[in-house]
Amino acid sequence: MPKKLLFLFITLLVFKSNAQQEELILLNTVPLKLISNANAIVRHDDETVTLLKLNKMNYSRNRIVTVLNSSGDTKHGAVIHYDKNIVVKKMTARIYNSKGKEIKKIKKNDFEDISAVQGGTLYSDSRVKYLNYIPTEYPYTIHFEAEIEYNSTAFIPHWTPIDNYYTSVQNSSYKIINLSPTEVNTKASNFEEYAIEEVGEHGYMAQNLPAIEPEAYSPSFANVVPSLKVSLTQFEMEGVRGVNTNWEDFGNWMYEALIKNTQELPEDVITEVNQLTQGAKNDIEKAKIIYKYVQEKTRYISVQVGIGGWKPMPASDVHKLGYGDCKGLTNYTKTLLKQVGVESYYTVIYGGREIKNIDATFSSIQGNHVILCLPLEEEYLWLECTSKTAPFAYNANFTDDRDALILTPKGGKIVHTKIYPTQANLLSNNATILLQENGDVSANVTMKSYGTQYGYRSQNELLKEKDKILEYKDYWSYINSFQVSDIKHYNNKDSIVFTEKLNIKAERYATKMGSSLLFQPNLFNRYENIPHQYENRKLPFEINRGFVDRDTYQITIPENFEVDALMDNINISNTFGEYKASIESIDSRTLVYSRTLQLNKGSYTNEEYDAFRKFLLQIKKGDKSKIIIKLKS
């Protein structure tokens, strides 16, 4: 090509590129449907992963985001996590005002650079560089570019074009260039629902995806947006080769590379734990003794080093130092159990209030937590080794009801953790209530919680005395001017039952109407939280954990009063649960109020949401039912 034509061609390419970029920093070029419900708009996001060798890959990102308001300030995506195996080669950001004028440029060394794990972390080699920009006007646009070199192929960046609520996407693309000697495994989720296009081999594109609004009881965000998981059939992490054709061999690699050489203990420790367990009748009793030993001797502290933060501290170090992270404490407990002849499995899992599964159909490094599994003939028991207070084999509300990866002698295996059924998640409230002529009430209350409800209520035991009083005042915030006294807690960790006993006095609880009193018999367990009403609900909804509340209150009315009108009995039953409430006269001064609320675990369509909300409104109304007692004539 003649030099003049070549120069003209290059000039046209640069002009076209600059023109496209100018379009992407002006708001008037955005489709209107992408502005609706959005705090930020991803104008352009191009990610490329180049797999060079089993131990080397490069990642580049070119991302342009328009931020519409202060709630979108954190959506720019100008963030890079790195450690000794991840080298940040390039990292720049340019900021443009609403007219498309560049107002600031941030170079690599100008980004904030902090430890990636804050708080209770002993030490960590994981860090994060991020853009800390305080805007003076909205909207504004950030153009972020980065190039990163990885000395490992264990963690290949996944693709999630919609990375948060209230964020719309104009253009997003992802491509894998595989120059390595092994195969790439991918798994796409929710591509059809969002019309994601495949572009060549391992190339994907998303366009014009409107922002998603969070909705009450909606499923996990990760379960409703498009995503692409990526892994290699062979990989390397810090010089350690791994094979990944299925969960069995992946689990074998994890055990051989991460766990195997970390399970040595001093002889005096082995002697000590054998002496402690010598009177135990079976493996369960031995395990209870060892679990208590670990709880009393150690404490949790985060340690994010080793192979990608995945290799546990040696058991001997945990014993000597008296602390460890979830990996170290689990491995330490496993090692102690092994010394007394009890088999257990190191288990990788997603821990959290939200239920999230290890993907059983896609073997790769997953999870954010480690627990211990005790295999019995008919079931598995699960030990949370980071807690100093949890009962033995109690895992509700954090690692319950989800797929996990256990490392067995035969390799990795996906199993499901314990499900706490609806009927087992019981809160039983009993009270004796004395009503005075002026509307004051005094009551002795006993609350017993089981299953998942034990996990919520038993936290009160750990509060200071003044905080316990504040907690009960917040819990019963609908009762005006009441005092709490004589608080007693009984935590039976063997039966896993938490009992709360306390006395309540409330002034003018009943409303005076001439010579009568208007009285709400449900003092201590009202359903108040009604979720939002939507004109056009878009997402399905879930009740992750069912529960049952049973309440029985014996109410004594003043001696010179009599019942004038009782509430009607309520009995509602549907697919979502059951609600019953009634009150009856036992004698001239004694009433008994009974209430049962059952909410069922389940997944439902968006069309069923209005019926579900109506059910909750019926419960709320029923809980506020009143009776009238009057002065005897």
According to the model, what pLDDT value does residue 24 have? 80
Q: What is the mean pLDDT of each run of 10 residues along the chain (633 residues)?
A: 48 45 78 94 98 96 97 95 92 95 96 73 72 95 97 93 96 97 96 95 97 96 96 89 92 90 96 96 97 97 69 94 94 98 97 96 93 92 97 98 96 97 98 97 98 97 96 95 96 98 97 95 96 95 97 97 95 98 96 98 97 98 97 88
Strands 227-232 and 184-189: antiparallel
- Token pair, residue 540, equals 């399905």
Phi, psi of 180 (to 5 degrees): -85, 170
Q: 561, 632 in Cβ contact below 8 A?
A: yes
According to the model, what pLDDT value does residue 20 have? 59
SS3 assignment, position 14: helix
- Token pair, residue 416, equals 């499901």
Fold (CATH) for 246-416: C8orf32 fold (3.10.620)
SS3 assignment, position 436: coil
DSSP state letters, 330-393? HHHHHHHHHHTT---EEEEE--SSS-----TTS-SS--SEEEEEEE-SS-EEEE-TT-SSPPTT
According to the model, what pLDDT value does residue 18 have? 54
Q: Can you tell me the distance from the alpha carbon of 144 to that of 175, in angstroms, rounded to the nearest whole number?
A: 18
Domain ranges of the chain: 3-237, 246-416, 422-631
Q: 138, 69 in Cβ contact below 8 A?
A: yes
The reply to whether omega before 139 is within 30° of 0 (cis) is yes
- What CATH number is given for 422-631 in this structure? 2.60.120.1130
Per DSSP (E only), the strands in 99-193 are: 102-106, 112-115, 121-124, 127-130, 140-150, 167-178, 184-189
Q: Can you tell me the distance from the alpha carbon of 405 to that of 383, in angstroms, rounded to the nearest whole number?
A: 14
According to the model, what pLDDT value does residue 208 have? 97
Per DSSP (E only), the strands in 179-285 are: 184-189, 197-198, 203-209, 227-232, 234-237, 240-243
Q: Which CATH class is domain 3-237?
A: mainly beta
SS3 assignment, position 244: coil
Three-state SS string over 302-317 comes to EEECCHHHCCCCCHHH
Q: 599, 527 in Cβ contact below 8 A?
A: no
Q: Can you tell me the distance from the alpha carbon of 497 to that of 446, in angstroms, rounded to the nearest whole number?
A: 12
Which among 73, 94, 96, 106 has a CA at the least distance from the CA of 27? 96
Q: Can you tell me the distance from the alpha carbon of 600 to that of 512, in angstroms, rounded to the nearest whole number?
A: 39
